């Protein structure tokens, strides 16, 4: 599109004055809070069917927001009640808004066709039907959730077919995937590498560009067709996850050969073609997106008969599963082939630092493996609640709820977790772990005192100097 045409359309545009976002989760909440902060003249209403969640977003005590993100409390404090609102009145917010973001969850299907692989789009469809039912005037509908490529086609069909009864209401669909990472959400939203907007209508695209242009330089706002935008999100997550699996694959080889994966990462990361980011070996990636999106990509590839493409990407998941399993297995082997009745302290449960999110966290699977070996686990995480930890374990259905509560204890104090433990396993890279009084921890542990650092965050030499036996992911034992 020429610059002149863009400018013309921009001027012609009816400015967006009211935005609604369906889904007040990890994506919808922070994203809308920042849009409201940066666009004080736009009324932003975030709606959700979950009353408890909305109440938490409205809580006077900013420590009670349902999502923990550094800096989020400040943003909410600035905008809430001014032009940022959280509500359960979904119909009303849809009716009032000119632009509606859909940010509901799209979990992996747990039933029927595509079970265990395809994204479950039932919530997306429900949203589309609700918008179609309620809308009395033209709406721009924005896909914020990560969706399989060509979902916009289904949305379009539902909106146009069920919405036509509303007397010629026009719906434009845009894809505007969110690239924020949890833990750095506010930073990522304030200064995104890029904003991606895919769509068919230049006018609708420009209306959304105008929202982001309040704070994002125009050259960082990319516009594409709908399908490129939808597929780019899946591709970005697949590439990121692939990098983690690649370095994790090498971490095992490093351990066998005496190489240090952190040194290897530094050596290759200085090559400007490779770059230094996302090369941190770990106990395995987690989070709500990577596994779900790759499975989805694999499913889509298979559905087009592209089996080699599907197999290629599936390997990223298989490698990740292997990494979690081998970390747990190493604990058992090192503790003289049995952890039965042994106390193992988990430092960290969240899938990464600076978040209270535990979805697909490696900690869950490592715990499950060790519980099958009859270990007793004591968990300390600075942000994750006891309720969440039990819910994560119960969800696996591996053993009874009573059994999970008998074998797993959750404490608020890391020293209590380590007291009388045979081993400490570091599952999340929380900064505070580095500053603990490790002499005290050593004194209170059983001998030998093992530390399994699944995030390579602790100073192993220092700990070994104190008497600990330390295993660090991706670092070969001395004298290998």
Which helix (H) or strand (E) is 420 found in, with range?
none
Nearest Cα neighbor of 366 from 292, 436, 423, 442 is 423
Residue from 45, 352, 433, 451 touching ligand UDX (CB under 6 A): that is 352
Measured from the CB atom, is 273 or 277 closer to ligand UDX? 277
Counting residues that bind ligand UDX (by CB under 6 A) gives 40
In this structure, are residues 49 and 74 in contact, taking their beta carbons and an 8 Å threshold? no
Written as one string, the DSSP assignment of 61-74 is: SGGG-SS--TTHHH
Residue 261's DSSP bridge partners are none
Residue 309's Cβ-side half-sphere holds a number of Cα atoms within 13 Å equal to 14
Measured from the CB atom, is 245 or 404 closer to ligand UDX? 245
Token look-up 């610059």 returns 3
Least Å from the CB of residue 1 to ligand UDX: 27
Q: Does 105 bind ligand UDX (CB under 6 A)?
A: yes
Ranges assigned E (strand) in 242-312 = none
Which residue in the shown chain puts its C-beta closest to ligand UDX?
25
Report how far residue 40's alpha carbon sits from residue 32's, in angstroms, rounded to the nearest whole number: 12
Q: Does 381 bind ligand UDX (CB under 6 A)?
A: no
> Which span (119-127, 328-336, 404-412, 443-451) binds ligand UDX, by CB under 6 A?
119-127
- Spell out, one character per residue from 228 to 247, where the chain touches ligand UDX: x when CB under 6 A holds, - when not: ---------x--x---x---
Q: Does 27 bind ligand UDX (CB under 6 A)?
A: yes
Report how far residue 447's alpha carbon sits from residue 323's, in angstroms, rounded to the nearest whole number: 27
- Spell out, one character per residue from 37 to 66, where the chain touches ligand UDX: x when CB under 6 A holds, - when not: -----------xxx--x-------------
Give yes or no: 401 in active site.
no
Report how far residue 203's alpha carbon sits from residue 43's, in angstroms, rounded to the nearest whole number: 20
Measured from the CB atom, is 9 or 140 closer to ligand UDX? 140
Give yes or no: 289 in active site.
yes
Which helix (H) or strand (E) is 43 found in, with range?
strand 43-47
Nearest Cα neighbor of 369 from 406, 332, 408 is 332
Q: Does 10 bind ligand UDX (CB under 6 A)?
A: no
Out of 109, 139, 233, 324, the active site residue is: 233
Q: Cα 294 from chain centroid?
A: 13
Residue from 37, 108, 145, 223 touching ligand UDX (CB under 6 A): that is 145
Q: Does 320 bind ligand UDX (CB under 6 A)?
A: no
Dihedral sign of CA atoms 59, 61, 66, 70 in order: positive
In this structure, are residues 85 and 19 in contact, taking their beta carbons and an 8 Å threshold? no
254, 263, 281, 322, 457 from 260: Cα distances, Å: 6, 5, 10, 19, 13
Give yes or no: 254 in active site.
no
Measured from the CB atom, is 43 or 108 closer to ligand UDX? 108
CA angle 195, 211, 132 (to 5 degrees): 95
- Spell out, one character per residue from 174 to 203, where the chain touches ligand UDX: x when CB under 6 A holds, - when not: ----xxxxx---------------------
Measured from the CB atom, is 180 or 393 closer to ligand UDX? 180
95, 245, 277, 282 from 263: Cα distances, Å: 56, 17, 14, 14
In this structure, are residues 166 and 139 in contact, taking their beta carbons and an 8 Å threshold? no
Measured from the CB atom, is 24 or 35 closer to ligand UDX? 24
Out of 178, 206, 230, 314, the active site residue is: 178
Out of 21, 39, 289, 360, the active site residue is: 289
214: which 2 tokens? 């309040």
Residue from 43, 106, 175, 232 touching ligand UDX (CB under 6 A): that is 106
Q: Which of residues 281-300 bind ligand UDX (CB under 6 A)?
A: 282, 285-290
**Contact residues for ligand UDX (CB under 6 A)?**
22-28, 48-50, 53, 103-106, 123, 126-127, 145-146, 178-182, 237, 240, 244, 278-280, 282, 285-290, 351-352
Catalytic residues: 178, 233, 289
């Amino acid at each position: 599109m020429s610059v002149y045409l863009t400018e013309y359309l921009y001027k012609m545009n009816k400015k967006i004055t009211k935005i609604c976002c369906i889904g007040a989760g990890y994506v919808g909440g922070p994203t809308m809070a920042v849009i409201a902060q940066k666009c004080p003249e736009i009324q932003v209403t975030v709606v959700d069917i979950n009353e408890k969640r909305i109440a938490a977003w409205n809580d006077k005590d900013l420590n009670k927001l349902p999502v923990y993100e550094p800096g989020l409390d400040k943003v909410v404090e600035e905008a809430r009640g001014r032009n940022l609102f959280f509500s359960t009145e979904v119909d009303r917010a849809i009716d009032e808004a000119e632009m509606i973001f859909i940010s509901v969850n799209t979990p992996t299907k747990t039933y029927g066709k595509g079970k265990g692989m395809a994204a479950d789009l039932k919530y997306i469809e429900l949203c589309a039907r609700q918008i179609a039912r309620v809308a009395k005037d033209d709406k721009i509908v924005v896909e914020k959730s990560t969706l399989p490529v060509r979902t916009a086609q289904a949305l379009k069909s539902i909106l146009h077919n069920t919405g036509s009864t509303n007397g010629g209401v026009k719906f434009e669909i845009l894809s505007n995937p969110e690239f924020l990472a949890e833990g750095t959400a506010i930073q990522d939203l304030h200064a995104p590498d890029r904003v991606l907007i895919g769509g068919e209508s230049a006018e609708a695209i420009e209306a959304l560009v105008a929202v982001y242009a309040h704070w994002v330089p125009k050259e960082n706002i990319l516009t594409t067709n709908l399908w490129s935008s939808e597929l780019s999100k899946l591709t970005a997550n697949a590439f990121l996850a692939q990098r983690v699996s690649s370095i994790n694959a090498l971490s095992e080889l490093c351990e066998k050969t005496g190489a240090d994966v952190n040194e290897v990462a530094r050596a290759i990361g200085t090559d400007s073609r490779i770059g230094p980011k996302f090369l941190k070996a770990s106990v395995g990636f987690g989070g709500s997106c990577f596994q779900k999106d790759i499975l989805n990509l694999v499913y889509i590839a298979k559905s087009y008969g592209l089996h080699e493409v599907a197999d290629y990407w599936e390997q990223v998941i298989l490698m990740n599963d292997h990494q979690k399993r081998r970390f747990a297995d190493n604990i058992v082997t090192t503790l003289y082939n049995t952890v039965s009745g042994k106390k193992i302290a988990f430092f960290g449960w969240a899938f990464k630092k600076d978040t209270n999110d535990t979805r697909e966290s490696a900690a869950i699977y490592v715990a499950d493996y060790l519980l099958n070996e009859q270990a007793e686990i004591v968990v300390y995480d600075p942000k994750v609640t006891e309720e969440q930890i039990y819910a994560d374990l119960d969800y696996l259905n591996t053993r009874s709820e009573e059994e999970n509560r008998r074998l797993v204890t959750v404490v608020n104090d890391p020293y209590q977790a380590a007291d009388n433990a045979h081993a400490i396993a570091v599952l999340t890279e929380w900064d505070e772990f580095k500053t603990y009084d490790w002499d005290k921890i050593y004194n209170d542990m059983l001998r030998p005192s093992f530390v399994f650092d699944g995030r390579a965050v602790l100073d192993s030499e220092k700990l070994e100097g104190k008497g600990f036996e330390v295993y660090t992911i991706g670092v070969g034992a001395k004298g290998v």
